[in-house]
A and B are shown apart, each in its own frame.
Chain A
Amino acid sequence: MWRCKRSEGDMKNARMAIRLPVALLACGLLASTAVGQKVSTEEAAGYLVFPKVVVDVSGDLNGVPMDTVIRITNTSPDATSVHCFYVDGTPRCTIGSGLDGFGACRTNDDCAEGGICTLSSCQATNFDLNLTANQPVGWRASEGVVTTGLCVEGTSPGFPCTTDSDCAGGGACQAQDIGRVPPLAPGIFQGELKCVQVEGGVQQSVTPVNRNDLVGNASIYRVNNTIVDVQTYNAVGVQAVSSDGSTQNDTTLVLGGGNREYAGCSAQVIVDHFFDNARLSTTREVTSEITLVPCSERLEVDDNPAVHTLQFVVFNEFEQRMSASTRFRCFREVQLSQLDRRPGQEAFSVFNVGVQGTLAGQTVIRPVLSGDGNPGNGILAIVEEFHRNPNSNAVRSAAFNVHLRGEKSQTDIVAY
């Protein structure tokens, strides 16, 4: 109060002259931090998340080889550097060599006697990319990028190469070095890919920069001699609050909150889906799988990933409301009707058509603040739909991005 009293007199105008612009500046800064930046699956961003990358070149998981093609595009007329992390979310046996000889498993039955199939740690592997202006790049996750050029002419244009002899049909190998991406084969890999636009340069600095130039998408393949099944989803882009090109202070990304460097994750995720085992026709029965990853993550050093609790509210076409909940660590891929029921009990799930009675449903997913020291509780997700022909058991699939609503008040942290 004394300040107000003292504001009378000659000092008043001077103080007001200082306070007003300071207050307006603070107000402006507060406002500017929120202007327009968002988590989006379609706008260019400085931080990309591919929630699901899967590699299984031997077809150990479901009998058909699987691979993922990653595409990242620099939409800017300026070159940029990108620092990426594969986060391994593959459940592995505590005892035994699992399905692939490296311990990967689906259930305890895939492990040696006494072994448990579990996701105990989320190991991250990092790599760097250097993209020229407007450059699109892509690679098979199983093979990565281990060459320094691309074939031109010949019969395999665009295929990776190191020398001319790598190119079929008399093609030549033209230099095109974007960096090295580690191959995820052999063995099974299920996990996510996270990429941050960084300073790069001669020092190959991995400190983030305030730019929003990256878009990406991923295509997951199931292919053998008689099957071609492809699904594509867009990477989730988290936009930097500032896009002035300046370098940030550290390698900790602050998503949302008052001191945000990037847009905050959404408060709710909304999924439109068909209920599991819904019959769309006599030759088409649908199940859906959701892949969940956290917004907060300690990359490279996360030996004990935080547990995230999620609440699900499910609506059917009768406007009836049911609920469920689940917990996960750094990565979870699960059929909807196994979110609240064990395998074999799917028919009793709130995500099953036999319980709901209508084909379509809406599920609102809300992350719950666990209070166990988590840096944040935001989530990102994609959904895959599997259409099975009950007569032939042939399966085709499609992936799609979920909807996002609101913004969490709590900050999420990504550190590396």
Chain B
Amino acid sequence: MRALCRSWLLGIGALCLIGSAADSQAQTRSGTDRPGSILMFPKVVRTAQRDTIIQITNTGNSINWVHCFYLSAPDGSGYCGAVDFELVLTRQQPTQWRVSQGRRVDPTDSFGSAGAGFDPGLVPPVPPGFQGALVCVEVDVNGDPRGQNRLKGEATILDDENGDVSKYSAFAVAAVSQNLSNPLALDGNEYETCPGTLTLNFSPRGSLDPVIEGFGNASLNSFISTNLTLLSCNLDLAAGVQSNGTVSYVVYDEFESPFSGSFPHQCWTTIDLGNTPQTTGQFRSTLLTGGAIGTIFAQAQLTLSNGLVGVAESFHADQAGVVGSAASNLHTGGSRSATIRLP
């Protein structure tokens, strides 16, 4: 009987431990501030003026194979294509490259140069005019998905014309199972789910910037605009098929007035808020024709049926056209299941 009693207590204890372990696993949720197994950089640009530096780090103590995809969705093409490459990161290794140049495998790179360090693999450059996203997945040596939750990353967007810089963190989706397969199921069983709602704190297009008005060259002629870039969590990286959908949004100004609307979204969308037919009233200041928002501070809550991640970039201009930009990760809430299909 004593043994029975002990086993009963041990059983409860074991249940507690299992539950507690499951909970700590539940705490490793997806986000931009935790390492994960799938990295999503929603905004990667290479234009005549702007370039992007990608940083990816293996935060673990063993080697990590990574399969990456540059994804682009030219307007009207009906295509969501991807170019892939592979990385091998040794333990705790950080790496970086400029997307216009990629990264060569060259052990003779000089000390302190852009290619110095263990080359993680051959990273192709993106073509001029590229605008899209980068998705990287932890895999094993055979290329099959593997969930170690050791990847983190940042993107630094450089303006080589005026020297400006903005930076955001990649969204990392954590694996919750070791039994992973292609397609990747972001359903809470294999990988964590994607956010169901994104919250954007922003200033409507055309708003006066209170600080530039205070210190800068403005005289009620400063100008704030915001570019929003969204990446669907439902991705077919094998066939490049677009996942058509609609992003619904509700905007609240400081008077708590709600404004709602929607805009179409394929796998990847970048949009100058307040400067498109679907966002004119709801994201535009009353200072501009057609604008409905009469306050400087506003929030927008965006939803897509199968989940999305995003990044916002705000541009603050004085009356002489001097511009400063800042990128920020969006706030997230809720959850949506999605699928990523690898080749």
Contact = CB atoms under 8 A, between A and B. Distances in A.
Interface of A: 1, 3-5, 7-8, 23-24, 27-28, 30-31, 34-38, 40-44, 57, 65, 67, 69, 71, 73, 75, 132-138, 140, 142-143, 150, 152-153, 155-159, 168-169, 174, 176, 215-217, 219, 221, 223-234, 270, 272, 274, 278-281, 283-284, 315-319, 321, 353-354, 357-362, 364, 385, 387, 389, 394, 396-405, 407
B328 A233 contact: yes
Contacts of A215: 199, 201, 331
A270 B93 contact: no
B307 interface: no
Contacts, number: 311
Interface in B161-215: 162-169, 199, 201, 207-208, 210-212, 214-215
B38 interface: no
Given A43-B31, A138-B296, A315-B93, A357 B326 contact: no
Given A38-B27, A215-B331, A233-B328, A137 B215 contact: no
B324 interface: yes
Contacts of B287: 155, 157
20 contacts: A27-B12, A27-B19, A35-B26, A40-B31, A41-B33, A42-B32, A73-B199, A75-B331, A132-B256, A137-B297, A153-B294, A157-B207, A157-B285, A158-B254, A223-B215, A230-B325, A233-B328, A353-B112, A362-B94, A398-B165
A23 B13 CA distance: 9
Interface string B132-167: 000000000000000000001110101010111111
Given A34-B23, A157-B285, A354-B112, A272 B154 contact: yes
A401 B294 contact: no
Contact of B328 (A221, A227, A228, A234): A234
Interface string B98-138: 10000000000001111011100000000000000000000
A8 B1 CA distance: 8
A361 B324 contact: no
Most buried by A among B295, B301, B327: B295
B326 A150 contact: no
Contact of B207 (A158, A169, A316): A158
Given A134-B256, A283-B163, A360-B96, A43 B154 contact: no
Contacts of A315: 92-94
